[in-house]
Chains A and B, each alone.
With several copies, the nearest count.
Chain A
């Protein structure tokens, strides 16, 4: 737990001289996986996450017979960190996938009703697979950016005789909103954004906030083993709303 970056953070400074509420440099590359219907690699400083979107066909859930399906999966590939292990997703990978899923689903940024082919029988399935390539902290925010960027890059393939024709496309996946997830961290009495891996050692509680273009809050997830006051939470939500506006600009071209 002892390291220079985290000791610095305790005294309110950052090893790379960033401000406490400043993100590292963000690089988004879309369309990099030719076999995927959509893809993006996002670098957040040295954290690198690849998201790929595959479109498949499936039977809808009985209670939503005319909606497409969204499935978000995350792999903490052992590639990305000496602490990750091979095997089925653990607690943290499961939580990350579900928090990203919730932000996409609850913001209604994809109109799942548009993805129904035959009610009760055949709908499109949108698989978002999140692959952590290098873990240098703040995985959820980076994974959400990568997932959104991949969805915005996604084309819906042609369907013929109830089968997908790979490589031929009908139209873009309609993405109605650009929700952003921002994780606000608390260290002592300070709020910090986008911690690096070494900084995360001293973070005791976090709140991930998903904010939509219209400033609606679409998801919250408290993390970490320490409590928050009501005031903390309100401040953290304000910080997240502000930062989401800045991050959303990355997608305005």
Chain B
């Protein structure tokens, strides 16, 4: 984690050259893991996650099964080499929490009642970590679920917004995240504008917060289009 005392926005441009509402270059690919039922790889600049989906498949041990619906499980994991100082393998408290909020972000979009006693597993690996990893994971998981043929009400689209140098910006990179006055992880099902993930750290007035949420919603619409074209590409094949 790098702290800096320098300005993060100079003449309206962020240090990587972006305007305050610019995303980093986004890359979205699906069907990248052949053994999986669905998969996707999503990069926002130097943040990259890869996701595979397995299921619906019968859930064992049996006492975990639900007789009226399938269930969703998520695992968010950072590869040891994804961050500056090697991360020891195994789930820490941060990963446990992110796995939970990711599952809750995706759950409202899936309906598994046609698959009682089954489980859908979503495995998210962060290969490169440079800020906003959890929302990259949600974006990848969402399209991976779609390619796996899991029934969905809508895609789930996620982004981060934050406040740096007194300005609201989108898609924070690692340096911005570590030096932000506030950052927000946000996910929405765009068609009916239903929010499924909302976490915030920092210090914002109510007005700034509401503005941030509107900015997040607007940003997610852009990402939604990217998700849809990534999926279209894949269905062409």
Given contacts A35-B130, A75-B89, contact A52 B79 (CB under 8 A): yes
Is there contact, CB below 8 Å, between B195 and A228? yes
Contacts of A56 in B (CB 8 A): 85-86
Q: For A82, give the chain B residue with the smallest CB separation.
A: B54
Q: Is the CB of A98 within 8 A of B93?
A: yes
Q: B195–A222 contact, CB under 8 A?
A: yes
Q: Is the CB of B33 within 8 A of A79?
A: yes
Evaluate contact between B50 and A79: CB separation under 8 angstroms: yes
B35, A80: Cβ atoms closer than 8 Å: yes
User: Provided the pairs A81-B35, A136-B34 are in contact, do residues A91 and B99 lie with their beta carbons within 8 angstroms?
Assistant: yes
Evaluate contact between B35 and A229: CB separation under 8 angstroms: no
- Shortest distance between the CB of A160 and any CB in chain B (Å): 15
Minimal Cβ-Cβ distance residue in A for B189: A227
Bound together, the chains give a CA A49 to CA B68 distance in angstroms of 35
Is the pair A78, B200 in contact by a Cβ cutoff of 8 Å?
no
What 1/0 flags go to A122-150 for Cβ under 8 Å of B?
Answer: 00000101010111100000000000000
Contact partners of B5 in chain A: CB under 8 A = none
Inter-chain contacts of B96 with A (CB < 8 A): 91, 94-95
Q: How large is the interface on A (under 10, 10 to 19, 20 to 34, 35 or more residues)?
A: 35 or more
Residues in B neighbouring A223, C-beta threshold 8 A: 104
- B44 at interface (Cβ–Cβ under 8 A)? no
Q: Does B155 contact A (CB under 8 A)?
A: no
How far, in Å, is A164 (CB) from chain B's closest CB?
8
- The answer to whether B100 has its CB under 8 Å from any CB of chain A is yes
A225 touches B104 (CB 8 A): yes
Give the Cβ gap from B224 to chain A, nearest Cβ, in Å. Answer: 15
Bound together, the chains give a CA A112 to CA B203 distance in angstroms of 17
Q: B75 within 8 Å of A by Cβ?
A: yes
Q: What is the bound-complex CA distance between A229 and B1, given in angstroms?
A: 34
A233 beta carbon closer than 8 Å to chain B: yes
Cα A3 to Cα B93 with chains together (Å): 34
Contact assessment for B80 and A215 in the assembled complex, using a CB-CB cutoff below 8 Å: no
B128 touches A35 (CB 8 A): yes
| CB under 8 Å from chain A, chain B span 193-237 | 193-206, 209-210, 213-214, 217
* Cβ–Cβ < 8 Å partners of B99 in chain A: 91
Contact pick for A217, options B130, B195, B197, B205, CB 8 Å: B205
* A50 CA / B51 CA spacing, docked (Å): 14
Contact for A233 among B77, B97, B128, B195, CB less than 8 A:
B195
CA distance A217 to B212 in the complex (A): 12
Q: Using an 8 Å CB-CB cutoff, how does the interface string of B44-65 with A read, 1 for contact, 0 for none?
A: 0010001110100100000000
A229 touches B195 (CB 8 A): yes
Contacts of A237 in B (CB 8 A): 206, 209-210
Contacts of A81 in B (CB 8 A): 35
**Are A217 and B81 neighbours in the complex by a CB distance under 8 Å?**
no
Whether B108 and A129, one on each chain, are in contact in the complex, defined by CB atoms closer than 8 angstroms, is: no
Residues of A near B199 (CB, < 8 A) are 220-222
Chain A residues in 8 Å Cβ range of B89 = 73, 75, 88-89, 129
A227 touching B194 by the CB < 8 A rule? yes
B-side contacts of A33, CB under 8 Å:
81-82, 127-128
Contact of A166 with B by CB under 8 A = yes
A79-B125 contact given A73-B80, A94-B96, A136-B34, CB 8 Å threshold: yes
CA distance A64 to B1 in the complex (A): 9
A234 close to B (CB within 8 Å): yes
Picked from A35, A108, A229, A232, the residue with its CB within 8 Å of the CB of B82 is A35
Is B34's CB under 8 angstroms from A216's CB? no
Partner among A63, A91, A238 whose Cβ is within 8 Å of the Cβ of B2: A63
Task: List 8 tightest A-B contacts by C-beta distance, closest first.
Answer: A52-B81, A227-B194, A220-B200, A54-B86, A222-B198, A36-B81, A129-B80, A227-B108
A-B contact pairs, 30 of them (CB 8 A): A33-B82, A36-B82, A46-B34, A56-B85, A63-B3, A78-B121, A79-B125, A82-B54, A89-B93, A91-B99, A94-B96, A98-B97, A129-B81, A136-B35, A216-B205, A217-B204, A217-B205, A218-B203, A220-B184, A220-B198, A220-B199, A221-B199, A222-B195, A222-B198, A230-B195, A230-B214, A233-B195, A234-B213, A237-B210, A238-B206
20 additional contacts (CB under 8 A) given A35-B83, A129-B89: A33-B128, A35-B128, A36-B82, A75-B89, A79-B123, A80-B52, A86-B75, A97-B93, A106-B202, A129-B80, A135-B35, A218-B201, A220-B184, A221-B200, A222-B104, A222-B195, A222-B196, A230-B193, A233-B195, A233-B198
